[in-house]
Structure 1
Amino acid sequence: MNDIDAWVWWLVGAAALGIGLVVTAMPELGMLAAAGVAAAVAAALGGDIVVQVLVFVAVSAALVAVVRPIAARHRSQRPQLASGVEALKGRQAVVLERVDASGGRIKLAGEVWSARALDTGHTYEVGQEVDVVDIEGATAIVM
């Protein structure tokens, strides 16, 4: 054990954390692996064990403090490119057949859709523009 330099042990530890990252998909393990590589560099440059541990702790803390909030912010954002029915919500359509609470037809994104009014007391006449607020199955809910 004394035959192997400290920097090799740090790299072995970093590799083990990297494997843990791949197996568990926990990004924190990747940050700890990067800190292990930084500690290996400190060991290769001749730093004693105290310096190596301080480098490991400082880099770990910095990465966790900086990267985690950024990752959490990106994770909570809605996708920028909506597709499918999500892309149709909020678009405008033209009434082809009178639309009321019981039904009707609209032209939405170049296609004819069945539709019904969101407000049960409201009616939309042919040629009128409406806004799509939701899609339920194959029926557009408009207002």
Structure 2
Amino acid sequence: MNVWLLWILAAVVCGIIEVMSVSFVFLMFAIGALAAGVAAALGASVFVQVIVFAVVSLALLALLRPFLKGRIDRSGGYVRTNTDALIGKTAYVTEAVGERHGRVQFSGGEWSARTEGEELAVGTQVSVDRIDGATAVVSALDSSSHPPMRPTAAPSE
């Protein structure tokens, strides 16, 4: 078996691991393995192939990975997705919200909502505390620190 095929296989394995981890570490190793595979295809010795792999991988880890992480995750921390990304959003009440039911609008849609003990009138600004299934659990915001929100729908006559 040709050695360059082993390097290509290593690159594919690193690529698969990268897709699962999204850390950009294995992406750099995959590119290093591809570079070593090119060196092998050009007839370089195994020693040179390993050096090419190490130098390319380490250089990319030091130079390219920080740039990529900064472009993908500007917050420098955990990227919240799905319902996690909705926690902390500001919404406004479109149908009075109590412990059992109500409606709020935020993030481009209207959600069923409930509170943990307080009654909130239509137009009240709220913060999304958590998502329980398809229901936003909300609490009132301090009205002095937030300007009033207006519905995006046309007023009824």
| TM-score after normalising by structure 2 | 0.47
Does 2:52 match 1:52? Answer: no
1:14 equivalent in structure 2? 11
Residue 24 of structure 1 and its aligned partner are, at CA, apart by 2.4
Q: How far apart, CA to CA, are the structure 1 residues paired with 2:65 and 2:75?
A: 15
Deviation of residue 135 (structure 1)?
Answer: 6.1
Larger Rg: 1
Contact 1:15-1:33 within 8 A present in 2 as well? yes
Matches within 5 A, 1:110-129: 116-118=143-145
Give the match for residue 63 of structure 1. 60
Q: Percent identity?
A: 32
Cα-Cα RMSD: 3.1
Deviations 1:73-109 (A, max 9, x none): 332259xxxxx859xxxxxxxxxxxxxxxxxx9xxxx
Unaligned runs of 5+ in 2: 77-88, 92-122, 124-141, 151-157
> Relative to structure 1, is the Cα distance of residues 67 and 53 closer, same or farther in structure 2, using a 3 angstrom cutoff?
same
Residue 27 in 1 paired to residue 24 in 2? yes
Q: Which runs of 5+ in 1 are unaligned?
A: 79-83, 87-104, 106-114, 119-133
Distance, in Å, in 2 between the alignment partners of 1:21 and 1:10 is 16
Q: Give 1:19 deviation, angstroms.
A: 1.2
CA deviation after TM superposition for structure 1 residue 63, in Å: 0.7
Letter in 1 for 2:36: A
In 2, the alpha carbon distance for the partners of 1:69 and 1:76 equals 11
Distance of 2:22 and 2:31 partners within structure 1: 15
Which residue identity lines up with residue 67 of structure 2 in the other structure? I
List 4+ stretches of structure 1 deviating above 6 A. Answer: none
Pairing 1:36-51 to 2, within 5 Å after superposition: 36-51=33-48
More helix by share: 1
CA contact (8 A) 1:35 1:55 kept: yes
Partner Cα separation in structure 1 for residue 68 and residue 22 of structure 2: 13
Q: TM (normalized to structure 1)?
A: 0.52
> What count of residue pairs does the alignment treat as equivalent?
88
